Amino acid sequence: MTDKKIEIYAILLAGGTGTRLWPVSRELYPKQLVNFIGRDSLVQSTVKRLSPVLNTEKIRIVCGKEHFHEISRHIKETGINPQGKVIAEPCGRNTAPAILLGVLNILKNESDAILCVFPADHVIRDVGDFQNRLKSAIHLADEGHIVTFGIRPDYPETGYGYIEGGKEISAQALRIKRFVEKPDMKTAETYLKAGNFFWNSGMFVFKASVISEAFGRFHPEMLRKMQAMMSDDSVTKEAYQQLEDISIDYAVMEKTDRGVMLPSDFGWSDIGSWKSLYDFLPKDGNRNVIDGDVIAKDTENCFIMGRQRLIAVNRLNNMVVVETPDSVFVSDMENSRDVKSIVADLKKRGRKEYHKHKTVHHPWGTFTLLEQKENLEVAEIAVDPGSAFVTEPDGRTLTFTVIVSGTATTDRQHRMAKGESKRFSENETVHLENSENEMLHIIQTRVGQQ
C-alpha cells in the first residue's frame, strides 16, 4: 500500500471544552474524557478504532496543558504507554497550530511520515467501514494528496460545515471544489438534493512533507515561529499566543490544490450536542435514550441521563434531562444546543459549575467535594499508590483527616491506618503519602477560623 520505509502516525486533537454537552462536559473535564457510550471515554474509543490499521504506539495527542495528566491516564488505561505521546498546548490556538505542533513533533524523529489526523471526541458506528476508508486515504496521501473525509449526509443538518465535491480522481476520491460554512435549513436542504455536498468531518490524512510545504506556502510565519519553538524546546504560552488563531480549513484546505475528499458513510457524528448524541445512540421501544437510575412514565423521544441520583419523569416528549452531582439541565430536544449560552452565563457569574465537577482529577488522584458552607468544607480524597496529597497552610484553616481505607504516611513518617485521624493546625502542611500498592481514601474536613 505504501513504502515500508515511511511510517504512519496518528495525531489526535483533544482540545476544546464541549460546552454544548454541559453539565457532563466541563472546561476542566471536557467531552473527550467522558464515557458517554460504553465503558471507554471518547478519546479511548478514538485510539482503539485505529487498530489494526495503525500501530497505536505511533500516536501523538495534542491537548491543553490542563488536561495533560488526565489524557495520559486515559491512554495508559488502553494499554499504551503515554510517555512522549501526549503533547500539551500552553493555550488553545485552533486546529492549524495544533496540527502543526503534532507534525513538527513527529518530524523530530522522522524524515517524513504519513499522518492521520482525527478529533479525539467524535464517534463512528461502523468501525470496519471506517478502517477500509482509512486504508484508501493512506494510499491517496502516499501519492501526495491532502485527504479529508466527507460524510454523506442523510438529513439537512445545519450544525455542520459542508464540502462540495468536484471531479472524481481515484479510489472514489473527489477533488474539493469548496468548503462552505454551516448553512441555514433551506440551504442545507439544497445541499442534500444536490448530492455532491458532504459534512466536513475534520479528519485528514497527508504526508508530513506535503503539509509542511503547504504551511510554508500559505502560512510561512506560523511555520517559522513553530519551528523556532520546537528547535529551542520553548513552546511557551507567550510564544504560542503569538500564533494565528486559525483552523486547518482556512489555513490550508481552502487554498491548496492538493486537497481531495473521500466520500464516507461509516456512521460518523461529532457529538456536538445532546441532540446529536441522542440521534447516534440506540433507542428503546418508546424512542428514549435512558442511562442511569431512571423511572420514565408515559415518556417518549427523550434523552435522560443520570450520574448519581434517581430521576423520575412523567409524560415528557422530545426532552433532554441530564443530571450530575451538582447540576441538572432540562431542555426541549431541538434547542438543547443552546446550553452553550447557559455555560457562558455561568462563567460570567463566576460560578464554578461551568469549570469543574465536584470530583476533580489530579496527577496524584481525585478530590471530591462533599459539602461546602461558610467556614466549612468536607471532601473525599483518593490518593494513587506512590503519590501524595499535599495542602499548604493558609494560617486560618484547621484540617481534620480520617483514613477510610489504605495507609497514609505523614511528612514526619508517622503511619496512619484505616480509622485513624489527625488534626492539622492552621500553620501546618497537610502531607499524606500513599506508599502502599492500594488506593488511599481519606475524608477531610476543613474548618475556617474567624
Of 245-249, 295-299, 412-416, 442-446, the poorest mean pLDDT is in 412-416
For residue 171, the model assigns a pLDDT of 66
User: What CATH number is associated with residue 380?
Assistant: 2.60.120.10
Q: Answer whether residue 117 is part of any domain.
A: yes
410: left (phi over 0), alpha (psi -120 to 50) or beta: beta
Domain boundary among 269, 295, 323: 269
- Distances from the Cα of 7 to the Cαs of 28, 142, 167, 184, in angstroms? 34, 11, 30, 42
Let me know whether 120 and 184 are in one domain: yes
**pLDDT tens for each residue of 252-295:** 999 999 999 999 999 999 998 999 999 999 999 999 999 999 99
Band (158; pLDDT cuts 50, 70, 90) = confident
Let me know whether 57 and 197 are in one domain: yes
Q: Answer whether residue 1 is part of any domain.
A: no
Domain boundary among 227, 250, 269: 269
Band (159; pLDDT cuts 50, 70, 90) = confident
Domain boundary among 269, 304, 337: 269
User: What CATH number is associated with residue 236?
Assistant: 3.90.550.10
**pLDDT tens for each residue of 60-96:** 999 999 999 999 999 999 999 999 999 999 998 999 9
Contact between 295 and 288 under an 8 Å Cβ cutoff? The reply is no
Let me know whether 308 and 415 are in one domain: no
For residue 17, the model assigns a pLDDT of 79
Let me know whether 111 and 213 are in one domain: yes
pTM: predicted TM-score of the whole model, two decimal places? 0.90
Tell me: pLDDT of 422 over 80.
yes
Mean pLDDT (the chain) is 94
Band (16; pLDDT cuts 50, 70, 90) = confident
Q: Answer whether residue 2 is part of any domain.
A: no
Let me know whether 388 and 419 are in one domain: yes
113-132 average pLDDT score: 96
| H/E stretch holding 341 | helix 339-348
Q: What proportion of the chain, given as a percentage, has pLDDT over 70?
A: 99
Let me know whether 85 and 193 are in one domain: yes
Band (450; pLDDT cuts 50, 70, 90) = low
Tell me: pLDDT of 367 over 70.
yes
Domains identified in the chain, total number: 3
Residue 127 has φ and ψ, to the nearest 5°, of: -65, -35
176-196 average pLDDT score: 93
Q: Answer whether residue 353 is part of any domain.
A: no
For residue 157, the model assigns a pLDDT of 87
Let me know whether 184 and 107 are in one domain: yes
Q: Answer whether residue 354 is part of any domain.
A: no
Helices (H), 143-288: 185-194, 208-218, 220-232, 237-240, 248, 274-280
508530513: which residue's cell?
A: 208
Let me know whether 397 and 309 are in one domain: no
Q: Provide the domain limits for residue 324.
A: 275-348
